[in-house]
Structure 1
């Protein structure tokens, strides 16, 4: 059984023009050979900005690049035929297909509707004004081009709890929609940031409307049958009631031929919030380890001033490894994005070694770290920035090492602020490894590996150290790494 290893096969600034689905198909065999077991694909359906949409401005869940809507037939990543060809190529290599799901909101409505709304204090959404305003808002989704194919469901204002723009009178802000289908206030079991973080953007889907929840369950069945995916990545779950996703996940697992891999994005750096969400959904989803990603960011900024022995302190992989999906970067944390917290290039090999070669957590590799990326965008100061994200030279070898050497019992030596190490013992049939890293000067540790390894000779798989290391008669060996670097020591064949 391969060690599960995810690849996020996109980033926020991936070029448009239908290039991604063909690239997935082209690289599928190489990914399998390298050791990737599952590929996380971006939202595959039509967004408000059509062929330029990254996918998080959901317009039509049933348009996978098939209908000429929002200015294009294909999505940014390609058309439906190319998507299905990419999925087929991955599955031919026994690679799982994880689809990104954005169910929090819809954008780009086809028609305006007249409705009643209350103004809301955007800094405290619990403060809902008593005054009722009659206004218009873009909340009716009829998908005229699709014309009822796959689903005849029409979304209207009764399906939503809030909007951020009204007309007649024209205002921007946060507005609570008044209707009999949703009740008063916002949904419960959401994050408590800003009082209640139910509302995020666009036309905010209200899961208290049973017709809505049934349509979203139906869509899940449809897309599972259409695309034959093996799992889902759930976007923005801190804004969606936990009780809904508990029901939704139960439903898809019941109808799936095999258990679906589910990971959710609850982007909070307080590990207790992540654990609380896992409890609310009865452990039915894994979560991305946002606290660990932030630790990596801070460690890369502080260099030798950061205490490496505490790198896993207050992280999900430390507190609940069975529900942790670990990562070094993603499309939200990359430079110029909303949750920008990039990990400096020098530290990325250390961070990837810490998620790829350990027992705990399911690691995720980010596309630019494996293949590189270059893009331009304006920063928070309005100035245009050119961003270069070079591929990490050691990353391919680290992914391969996960499948070849990350086996057996794990022993940690996190006993120094600038130099830490851990070993995997191997099994009867699979080899182990020794990993040592430093965020300061050259590091070294004498490790007691046991008499079974007496006389064995080790070399650095990454080639950062040229010498070999031979264990003494008791199985002790002195391992070194370069300053600000990592070495993965394996037994010479």
Structure 2
């Protein structure tokens, strides 16, 4: 969730040195101390963590051996005026053609600030821009009709759509006398325009169920998940929020906002009752905490551990940080990796970071502004293609120092995998590495190197990486 006093971090674009081409001129055997191999003991991630639908539609997204990629389809303070759903809808075909398999949308329902709100102060979960309340009919993003058209178009492109769900707190209620506080509280949601999920003071802490749950946020009324009435309206009833979003609005999954504010059992129950892909925003760099939450919520979680390690690696000149523990190494099926999002944007050297998440295990996310405005879209599309077609099997870290990082995806089910070489230094670097392939010609699928080396019979080969950049190697086929 975007804290109301945050500003989106300024992006410092890194200008990469022009790629050079060099001829391979050394085929001697590597010294035994040149390459240090470390295998990460993680489960293989070889498919999307959600259903792709049936059939293969020419020109639409079709899941490849490496899985899919998620697009965060917004940023903080997207333009006002109710046109954002149309903006996203118009980009879906290009995203699908580029290999993006799902889009995450901002909170879609009417919030306290009406047409000006980013949706994280929800008032009426069933008003998608079709009721006149909180000063407007449309939300900041548009009308219900436009949202439904976006979702329909995404499904036609064989893409999934994830809803951002804010169930920790509400905003925009009317004042009422509250016997549990002895004061008036803004907890009267009895007159919401949709008529669905009316709420009063006993549906928020403190109340007859206790004084608080895991955490309130920003002074907003803190929704009481211990109350069976609240549980029913959120996920239990046939017309609950979750089931309405899934069955009527046709959302395919959920991004749960601020899950520190309530127990993981809430998401677990939602998932059991409603279904669909889910990921939680647990803003914590401790991988033990991330794993604990994901297991107890039966949900994916954003890999904040990887996020902060990437900042240390790519911005602070210490690629050894990538040896450290991360959620994708613990359980790639429950790790959603990212380089930036609407809340936090601290990694400046972004292209190597995207090369990292798009060649490694986990479910990688592309940030809208990085893709559409700030970075090189052609290079990102190249990385997405590599992810979808070559990034298979578990991961072995082959070499790290402050400036260099080399890892191998070991391949799966006939797919050859890859070797990624990230170079933070200001000059070309070369290394002998052990590959998956014996006596095979390989190439750099980024085009950054023009070498076409052949692996030795023992699967070793020398590869290179350009300065302040990366190369990604696989069979020349």
Q: TM-score range by the shorter chain?
A: 0.7 to 0.9
Which residue of 2 is the match for residue 171 of structure 1? none
Which residue of 2 is the match for residue 366 of structure 1? 367
Check conservation: 1:104, 1:240, Cα contact below 8 A.
yes
SS at match of 1:62: coil
Are positions 1:343 and 2:347 aligned together? yes
1:204-215 equivalent positions in 2, closer than 5 A: 204-215=222-233
Which residue of 2 is the match for residue 252 of structure 1? 274
Check conservation: 2:441, 2:452, Cα contact below 8 A.
no
SS at match of 1:98: strand
Which residue of 1 is the match for residue 390 of structure 2? 405
Check conservation: 2:440, 2:475, Cα contact below 8 A.
no
Q: Give the superposition deviation at 1:399.
A: 0.6
Which residue of 2 is the match for residue 386 of structure 1? none
Are positions 1:202 and 2:220 aligned together? yes
Q: Distance in 2 between matches of 1:432 and 1:240?
A: 40
Aligned residues: 408
Change (3 A) 1:329 1:252: same
- Give the one of 456, 475, 479 matched to 2:463: 479
Compare the two structures and name the one with the higher strand fraction: 1
Q: Give the superposition deviation at 1:396.
A: 1.5
Which residue of 1 is the match for residue 327 of structure 2? 316
Check conservation: 1:349, 1:392, Cα contact below 8 A.
no
Check conservation: 2:224, 2:230, Cα contact below 8 A.
yes
Which residue of 2 is the match for residue 154 of structure 1? 198
Which residue of 1 is the match for residue 433 of structure 2? 447
Q: Distance in 1 between matches of 2:166 and 2:191?
A: 18
Q: Distance in 2 between matches of 1:473 and 1:445?
A: 17
- Give the one of 256, 262, 278 matched to 2:294: 278
Check conservation: 2:168, 2:258, Cα contact below 8 A.
yes
Unaligned runs of 5+ in 2: 1-62
Check conservation: 1:404, 1:431, Cα contact below 8 A.
no
Q: Distance in 2 between matches of 1:81 and 1:20?
A: 13
Check conservation: 1:60, 1:143, Cα contact below 8 A.
no
Which residue of 2 is the match for residue 124 of structure 1? none
Check conservation: 2:111, 2:120, Cα contact below 8 A.
yes
Higher relative contact order (CA 8 A, sep 6+): 2
Which residue of 2 is the match for residue 167 of structure 1? none
Which residue of 1 is the match for residue 282 of structure 2? 266
Unaligned runs of 5+ in 1: 119-133, 162-176, 191-196, 254-259, 335-341, 373-388
Q: Distance in 2 between matches of 1:299 and 1:229?
A: 36
Q: Distance in 1 between matches of 2:92 and 2:264?
A: 35
Q: Give the superposition deviation at 1:432.
A: 3.4
Cα distance per residue 1:233-283 (max 9 Å; x no partner): 111111112232222221113xxxxxx1111111111112222223433xx
Q: Distance in 2 between matches of 1:241 and 1:4?
A: 29
Which residue of 2 is the match for residue 416 of structure 1? 401
Cα distance per residue 1:435-462 (max 9 Å; x no partner): 1011224322112325x5415142x332
- Give the one of 12, 17, 21 matched to 2:81: 17
Cα distance per residue 1:62-100 (max 9 Å; x no partner): 001111111221111111111111111111111111111
Are positions 1:112 and 2:175 aligned together? yes
Change (3 A) 1:323 1:186: same
Are positions 1:138 and 2:154 aligned together? no
Are positions 1:242 and 2:264 aligned together? yes
Check conservation: 1:38, 1:97, Cα contact below 8 A.
yes
TM-score by length of 2: 0.80
Change (3 A) 1:33 1:472: same
Q: Give the superposition deviation at 1:407.
A: 2.9
Q: Give the superposition deviation at 1:223.
A: 1.6
Check conservation: 1:6, 1:40, Cα contact below 8 A.
yes
Are positions 1:229 and 2:251 aligned together? yes
Cα distance per residue 1:126-180 (max 9 Å; x no partner): xxxxxxxx3222211134544x2xx2x421111111xxxxxxxxxxxxxxx4x4x
Q: Distance in 2 between matches of 1:408 and 1:112?
A: 56
SS at match of 1:220: helix
Q: Give the superposition deviation at 1:483.
A: 2.0
Check conservation: 2:419, 2:435, Cα contact below 8 A.
no
